[in-house]
Amino acid sequence: MESENQRVKFLDVGHGDSSVIYLNSGHSENENVVIVDIVDSDKLLTELTSHKIKVVDLIIISHSDADHCRGVNDFLEKYMAVGIVKNICFNLDKRQPTKTMKLILKKFIEIYQKQRITLLTGQNDTSVQKRELISNDKSKLFLIYPNVAESTEAYLKNDTNNTSIVCLLENDVCNVLFLGI
CATH number at residue 35: 3.60.15.10
pLDDT for the residue numbered 94 = 62
pLDDT for the residue numbered 166 = 92
Tally Cβ neighbours within 10 Å of residue 66.
14
pLDDT for the residue numbered 174 = 84
Q: Is residue 1 part of a domain?
A: no
pLDDT for the residue numbered 42 = 92
Instruction: Note if the bond before 97 is cis, omega within 30 degrees.
Output: no
Q: Is residue 46 part of a domain?
A: yes
Strand-by-strand arrangement of the 175-178 sheet: 131-135, 139-145, 166-171, 175-178
CB-based contacts of 9-13 (< 8 A; 24+ apart in sequence): 9/47, 11/40, 11/43, 11/44, 11/47, 12/43, 13/39, 13/40, 13/43
Q: Is residue 20 part of a domain?
A: yes
pLDDT for the residue numbered 176 = 92
Helix, strand, coil content of the chain in percent (nearest 5): 30, 30, 40
Beta strands in 11-108 (DSSP E): 19-22, 33-36, 55-60, 84-90
pLDDT for the residue numbered 4 = 56
Q: In 3-state terms, what secondary structure has residue 2?
A: strand
| Amino acid sitting at position 19 | S
Q: Is the dihedral of CA 136, 141, 62, 96 positive or negative?
A: positive
Query: Which residues form the domain of 114?
Result: 7-178
Please state the domain count of the chain.
1
Q: Is residue 114 part of a domain?
A: yes
Q: Is residue 61 part of a domain?
A: yes
Residues in the chain predicted with pLDDT less than 50, given as ranges, are 1
pLDDT for the residue numbered 3 = 52
